[in-house]
Structure 1
Amino acid sequence: MRIVGLEAYVVECEIKRHYRWRKGLPISPPKQEICWLRVVTDEGVDGWAVSSRGYIVADLVRRWLKEIAIGQDPLLKEQLWHKVWEVDRIEEFPIYALGLLDIALWDITAKVANLPLYKLLGGARDKILAYASTVTWETVDDYLRYADECLALGYKAIKIHAWGDFEQDGKLAKILRQHVGDEIALMYDGSAGFRYEEALKLGHMLEEANFLWYEEPMREFNIWQYQRLCDDLDIPILVPETADGCHYNAADFVVHGACDLLRTSSHYKGGITGAMRIAHLADSFGMYVEVHGDGLPNLHLCGAIPNTRYYEILVISDPKVEKEEQGELGIDSEGYVHLPQRPGIGWQIDANELAKKSFLSV
């Protein structure tokens, strides 16, 4: 089997529900530009992957990924994964582009094996609990109302993205805990909004509210600061999420005592190959690894990794309607998401229709 073509399709989609994050971060744009990557083989088995920042990714496909992949065996994923990382030394790929080819190659491999990806990767479970991951809402009452709606749908866990004010966020955490009771898992994501002193004070408030984890409170440039925070807090610190370097970088956080839990994902950690390296790294140290973000590749990671606990689902403004729109990626009445059983990652794409909708094809 050989790769005979790489195709990139950029599609512009209107964002139906606008949202914001903490202070200092931009609000959601009016539209999203995504890029679908298609890897074509000489045996009729194609692989797919999708990324945000579509025009940037399409340019990288045109200038680099075609040269790296065409003519190669798509089942030699390790070889091609390292080739991408070699080119990264010169090109400095955006973090979301490093694993795109790898995801498509795993899609091909699982289709050849006639297995859903998570089973090919080892298979840890067929369903997993999901947590509702909030955007930033305006008031405390908004958080309480949406929490009630999420719990009524079956969610057993909620992660909050709040305002980026450590005092107000800490108060929200305590009020939310009182509101939902002790049986619901609560997590907090700081979106890297704090300096050490603020992160420490907020961490103590999250401890008082019995939060399950404290995610990315500071930028991840400085491992020493995270080491201090882990030493000074009891609540588990979950990082690195957006730091470059995949498992190489994650290993530094572990060996320096700068995290308690590790973050992994297909889109920020070098595709499926990089994400699984981080999962195995965490397991070797007896740590949990939590998968960042939703979507089919990340759901398959959740099904393959034994030392993970939840699948993340973003909740914006209407949990019930959003659940219906999510289809198979939504929760059941008990809060679980079930793994798809189609061979590969499971996207069902009509390439001809996609080409018609594309604003750019390369």
Structure 2
Amino acid sequence: MKIIDVKAYAVKQEVSIPFKWRKGLPQGSHLNEMGILRVITDEGIEGVAVAQRGLMTVDYTQRRLKDLLIGKDPLLKERLWHEMWELDRAEEFQIYYMGLPDVALWDITAKKAGMPLYQLLGGSRDRVQAYASTVTYDTTDEYLRVADYCLEKGYRAIKLHAWGDARADAKLCQALRKHVGDDICLMYDGSAGFDLQDSIYLGKALEQADYYWYEEPMREFSIWNYKKLCDELTIPVLAAETSDGCHYNAADFIVHGACDRIRTGTVLKGGITGSLRIAHLADSFGMKAEIHGGDQVNVQLACGIGNNTFFEVLAWGTGPIGFGYPVEEDGFITAPQVPGIGYSFDWEEIERKAYAKV
């Protein structure tokens, strides 16, 4: 099997409900565009991967990915992953793109095998429990109303993205615990908004409210600060979400005691190949590797590994709330059961809609 062509498209998407993050971060405009990578083989099997930046997808494909992939065997994913890593030394790829071609190659491999990707990866289960991951709202009452709606939809776990004020966020987190009771799993994501002192303060408040994990309270440049945070707290600290370096960086967090759970996922950690490296590394330390949201490919990953707890689904608005992925009545998501990842595009329509392509 050989790759005979590589195409890319930049497509606009309409997000009907605007949303925001903590103070200092931009609005959620990344959902307004999508990049699609399409890898075509001489056997008629195509691999697809999706990115959050349309024009970057087209640019990288035109300048780098076509030359990297055309003429190669798509089943030699390990070799091509390392070749992409070598390109990054000169290119410094935007973090979303280190694993983009790898995802498309795994899609081809699973289609060639006639299996859903999660089965090809080993198959831990065919469905995964979802948690509702909020955006940022203006008042505590809005958060409580959103939580009620999420529980009505079947979710049994909720993660907060709050205001980025340690004192105010601590009160909000404790108010939510009181509101939903002891049986609902709650998490908190700091979106890297705090220094070490405020991170410790907020972490202790989360411990009192029995939160399940404490995610990315600080920027992930300083492993030493994360180690000091972990030493101060009993709540599990989830880290290494946006840090560069894939499994090499994840290993430093783990061996230095700078996290209790590690982030993985195809979007930020080098595709399927990079994500598996992190998941297996974490498993060797008896640690959970929690997947950072996404679409079908990360659902497949979540069902393919054994040491992931939940799947993140973005919830925004206040009613009706928009959710980023269909969740079943019991709060679970079932992996697509078709061969490959499960993407389905009308290529004629994509060709017409694309505002940039190669």
In the superposition, the TM-score normalised over structure 1's length comes to 0.97
State the AA in 2 paired with 1:213.
Answer: W
Which deviations, in whole Å up to 9, do the C-alpha atoms of 1:142-184 show, x marking residues without a partner?
0111101110111000000000000000000111000101100
Structure 1 residue 339 and structure 2 residue 355: aligned? no
Match of 1:206 in 2: 206
Distance (Å, rounded) in 2 between the aligned partners of 1:319 and 1:117: 34
Q: Are the aligned partners of 1:10 and 1:55 in contact in 2 as well (CA < 8 Å)?
A: yes
Check whether the contact 1:226–1:258 (CA below 8 A) recurs between aligned residues.
Answer: yes
1:31 and 1:148 map into 2 onto residues whose CA distance is 25
**Is 1:16 aligned to 2:16, yes or no?**
yes
**Range moving further from structure 2, 313-322 or 279-288:** 313-322
Give the aligned partner of residue 118 of structure 1: 118
Q: Percent identity?
A: 55
Output the CA distance in 1 between the equivalents of 2:164 and 2:31.
25
What's 1:158 paired with? 158
Return closer, same or farther for 1:223/1:119 CA change in 2, 3 Å cut-off. Answer: same
Measured after TM superposition, the shift of residue 261 of structure 1 is: 0.1
Counterpart AA for 2:355: F
Q: Distance in 2 between matches of 1:116 and 1:320?
A: 32
Shift of 1:30: 8.9
Tell me the amino acid that sits aligned with residue 231 of structure 1.
Answer: D
Partner of 1:3: 3
How far does the alpha carbon of each residue in 1:195-250 deviate from its partner, in whole angstroms, 9 at most, with x for none?
A: 00000000000000000000000000000000000001111000100000000000
| TM superposition shift of 1:126 | 1.1
Residue 36 of structure 1 aligns to a residue whose secondary structure is strand
Q: 1:276 to 1:30 in 2, by over 3 A?
A: closer
- Is residue 2:102 matched to residue 1:105? no
Amino acid at match of 2:89: R
- In structure 1, the gaps of 5 or more residues are none
- Residue 35 of structure 1 aligns with an amino acid whose one-letter code is G
Using the alignment, how far apart are the partners of 1:57 and 1:360 within structure 2? 10
Q: Which of 341, 345, 348 is 1:352 aligned to?
A: 348
Question: Which whole-Å CA distance do the structure 1 matches of 2:51 and 2:223 have between them?
Answer: 28
Taking the aligned partners of 1:260 and 1:191, their CA distance within structure 2 comes to: 17
Contact kept? 1:99, 1:266, Cα under 8 Å:
yes
* Partner SS, residue 13 of structure 2: strand
How much has 1:318 moved relative to structure 2? 4.8
Counterpart residue number, 2:148? 148
Counterparts of 1:239-278 in structure 2, within 5 Å, are 239-278=239-278
Query: Does the CA-based 8 Å contact 2:315-2:321 persist in structure 1?
Result: no
Q: Does 1:302 align with 2:302?
A: yes
Q: Which amino acid aligns with 1:149?
A: Y
Residues 42 and 330 of structure 1, relative CA distance in 2, 3 Å threshold: same
* Cα distance in structure 2, aligned partners of 1:321 and 1:228: 38
Alpha-carbon distance in structure 2 between the residues aligned to 1:31 and 1:206: 30
Structure 1 residue 294, shift from structure 2 partner: 2.6
Alpha-carbon shift at residue 127 of structure 1 (Å): 1.1
Displacement of 1:107 after TM fit? Answer: 0.4
Q: Scaled by the length of structure 2, what TM-score is found?
A: 0.98
**In 1, Cα distance between equivalents of 2:31 and 2:173:** 32
Residue 95 of structure 1 corresponds to: 95
Change (3 A) 1:319 1:283: farther
- With over 3 angstroms needed to count, the CA separation of the structure-2 counterparts of 1:54 and 1:30, relative to structure 1, is closer
CA contact (8 A) 2:170 2:206 kept: yes
1:84 aligned residue: 84
Distance change in 2, residues 1:309/1:356 (3 Å): same
Which deviations, in whole Å up to 9, do the C-alpha atoms of 1:33-83 show, x marking residues without a partner? Answer: 211100010000000001011111211111111111110000000000000
Superposed CA RMSD: 1.2
Query: Could you tell me how far 1:350 is from its partner in structure 2?
Result: 1.8
Per-residue deviation at 1:340?
Answer: 1.2
CA deviation after TM superposition for structure 1 residue 89, in Å? 0.2
Contact 1:22 1:161 in 2 (8 A): yes
Query: Could you tell which deviates more after superposition, 13-22 or 312-321?
Result: 312-321
**Distance of aligned partners of 1:100 and 1:146 in 2 relative to their CA distance in 1, 3 Å threshold:** same
Q: 1:56 aligns to what? A: 56
- 2: CA distance, partners of 1:40 / 1:257: 43
* Greater CA drift, 331-340 or 145-154: 331-340
Partner of 1:224: 224
The whole-number CA distance in structure 1 between the counterparts of 2:22 and 2:276 is 30
Paired position in structure 2 for 1:44: 44
- Counterpart contact for 2:145–2:318, Cα < 8 Å: no
The residue identity in structure 1 corresponding to 2:65 is L
CA offsets 1:118-148 (integer angstroms, 9 cap, x no match): 0000000111110000000110000111101
Contact preservation (8 Å) 2:142, 2:318: no
Aligned match of 2:35: 35
